[in-house]
Amino acid sequence: MSVNMALLRQIAGRLTSMSLQELSASQSAPIIHGSRRFASAFKFVPDAASPSDGETTKMNLFQALNNAMDVALTSDSTAVIFGEDVAFGGVFRCTVGLADKHGKDRVFNTPLCEQGIVGFGIGMAAVGATAIAEIQFADYIYPAFDQIINEAAKFRYRSGNMFDVGGLTIRAPWGAVGHGALYHSQSPEAFFAHIPGVKVVIPRSPIQAKGLLLSCIRDPNPCIFFEPKVLYRAAVEQVPVKDYMIPLSKAEVLQEGSDVTLVGWGTQIHVLREVAQMAQEKLGVSCELIDLVTILPWDKDTIIKSVEKTGRLLVAHEAPITGGFASEIASSVQEECFLQLEAPIQRVCGWDSPFPHIFEPFYLPDKWRCLDAIKKMINY
């Protein structure tokens, strides 16, 4: 199918000169590499660690992931990390120093072959090892699709639970970054949400990333762990030093509200935080913000309970709208909450085109598109 460039021009044309001025004047864009970027605009709001978590230290997201893998290697003698360039730290430095500390037989490079990386991980997990595989970008996970779907996801089922590869965790940098264009910006979580037998997890912050990655590594099922790469350095928090885990398949209500339920995951949570604030200030609308956290199996009960209260639902993600995971959420909520809905459910997502480069600001589900969707629901 040919790409319809007129679509992107039409998207660009939707922004008036006034909204462009507001966008350029906004304080929401993160400072990346010392300059304010127009693309991937959001403001990271750190979470505070619980006092019960004890000692904390300042970490960005890639340091929190590094710390989680260090904990895993220290506490589990069977754990190994492998992938393209991981021995020297990887392109995002997530594994830096681990080979020196734990040995080159436990943190090692592989050939540039994604299906081989995952296939090797399946084999290691099948004989009892804890295999932590890195795919250098989520955009390049597709060559490993068959290994994940037809082998890892079905290993336990086809053997009648005699064998499993629950020790396999696949990490991959995910999502928009401001300059990644077609092959370094994709969000493929919906592909894997259709596959029984794997878990799919996406963190929003360093604290969450450490706890969720350790939960994935120790979960008795194979897990895919997508890491929002724009947050690797932009997201900084005081992260607990201790070994801790965060439950999978449990959504988190970050802000309670009464008029609209906002659902997202990963980077989009930080966009929706600002949307909730704008809706309150500009429209007098109270928004309940929920981080889905786990795409599969997802926490349907928390979302339904919220929508029964608010009567309105907006789901936002960076992936294209058609077949995106927002569709599954919208369908499930419509089935359970039909009589409580005050307006049609809104999906604010990427467009049905390859991920663009210079048009990235118009492709992403930014705060202005989300706010327009809230207005539409309130005025319905």
Q: Determine the longest span between alpha carbons in the chain, in angstroms.
A: 63
Active-site entry in 84, 134, 151, 184? 184
Active-site entry in 114, 227, 318, 360? 114
Is 134 in the active site?
Answer: no
Is 184 in the active site?
Answer: yes
The catalytic site residues sit at 114, 184
